[in-house]
Amino acid sequence: MNRPLNRALIQVKNLCYRYPDGAAALNGVDFSLLEGEKLALVGANGSGKSTLLTHLAGCIPLGGTGDILLSGRSVGSDLERLRRVVGLIFQDPDDQLFMPNVLEDVAFGLVSRGMEVSQAHRRALAVLETLSAPHLASRLPHRLSGGEKRVVALAGILAMQPEIVALDEPSSGLDPRARRRVIEILKALDRPMILATHDLDMALDVCTRALVMNQGKIAAEGELPGLLQNESLLLENGLELPPRFSAH
Ligand SMILES: Nc1ncnc2c1ncn2[C@@H]1O[C@H](COP(=O)(O)OP(=O)(O)OP(=O)(O)O)[C@@H](O)[C@H]1O
Ligand SMILES: [Mg+2]
């Protein structure tokens, strides 16, 4: 069967969400992630980026208003379907690391999906090697530095080879060399991706299109670099020109 180009992998329709304490975090989000696309999700603190990503990864049940479609089919209450397809690296790596050592942590998802332990450990080590972090394999995850935790959390998701990768602030807390390495890995990764970040220079390096979130909505979307060169649009949405476009 011939597939149309730029088929939508994920469609989000009028997604609304209020946290149990009443805070309205998503106020009618609409967008699509297209086949082969690396999409940046940018916006000021509290604009709803993490809430949106946790919905996409099936970590929060849909609250009744709105829908998420995977390859054109509504997920409804089948969060497991989202979890299988979308691998999310959380904003706080401590939400993701809990095994007694790094190798077991990176292998955890594979083992829980039924892969034989020694094979899962081999795959986990290979992924740590691509991230220049095999030396962390026997370390206790909770004793790692912030940047090391982020690299290990990334390894855990990459080991699972999800169809779609969602990343929440993957460069935050990384030193310049580790940040560049993560950028190179994300550029080389042949997967559709949605990347929430305040690091607009990283978004420009990795992504081809961006969504700007403001108060739980998509306030603007467009191709890169154009969208992130529009200073007035960025200012209206609580953002600033990325360093590479800023005269200062
Ligand atoms: N667990 C929670 N309980 C209640 N309200 C929450 C919770 N998590 C987030 N919120 C609220 O939901 C809104 C969206 O938060 P969210 O974390 O999605 O924003 P964000 O764009 O990821 O911000 P940041 O750039 O700081 O990571 C904010 O108003 C926030 O205060
Ligand atoms: Mg966030």
pLDDT one-digit tens code per residue, 200-228: 999 999 999 999 999 999 999 999 999 99
Atom of ligand 1 nearest to the CA of 43: 21
Domain-located, residue 85 = yes
182 C-beta neighbours (distance < 10 Å), count: 22
Whether residue 133 is contained in a domain is answered as no
* Test site for ligand 1: of 29, 47, 90, most ligand atoms within 8 A of the Cβ: 47
Residue 80 within any structural domain of the chain: yes
pTM of the full predicted structure?
0.94
pLDDT on residue 173: 85
Tell me: pLDDT of 1 over 70.
Answer: no
Ligand in closest contact with the CA of 44: 1
**Residue 130: inside a domain:** no
> Does residue 180 sit within a domain?
yes
In this prediction, residues 31-52 reach a mean pLDDT of 97
d(CA 193, CA 38): 5
Mean pLDDT, rounded, for 13-31: 95
Contact residues of ligand 1, CB 6 A cut-off? 19, 21, 23, 25, 43, 45-51, 91
Q: For residue 66, what are the domain limits?
A: 8-92+163-241
Q: How far is the CA of 96 from the centre of ligand 1 (A)?
A: 18
Mean pLDDT, residues 98-112 taken together = 95
pLDDT (mean) for 101-123: 96
Tell me the angle at which helices 146-160 and 176-188 cross, rounded to the nearest 10 degrees: 10
Q: What CATH number does residue 208 fall under?
A: 3.40.50.300
Mean pLDDT check: name the lowest of 41-45, 188-192, 195-199: 188-192
Kindly state the average pLDDT of the residues 63-79: 90
Q: Which of 5-9, 22-26, 203-207, 239-243 shows the lowest per-residue confidence on average (mean pLDDT)?
A: 5-9
| 247, part of any domain | no
Residue 55 belongs to some domain of the structure: yes
Q: How confident is the model at residue 6 (pLDDT cuts 50, 70, 90)?
A: confident
pLDDT higher than threshold 60 for residue 7: yes
4 has pLDDT over 80:
no
Ligand 1 geometric centre to CA of 129 (Å): 34
Residues above pLDDT 90, as percent of the chain = 83
**Helices marked H in the chain — which ranges?**
49-56, 79-85, 102-112, 117-130, 146-160, 176-188, 200-206, 231-236
- 172 is a domain residue: yes
Residue 101 class from Cβ within 10 Å (0-12 exposed, 13-18 middle, 19+ buried)?
A: middle
Residue 111, pLDDT score: 96
* Number of domains into which the chain is organized: 1
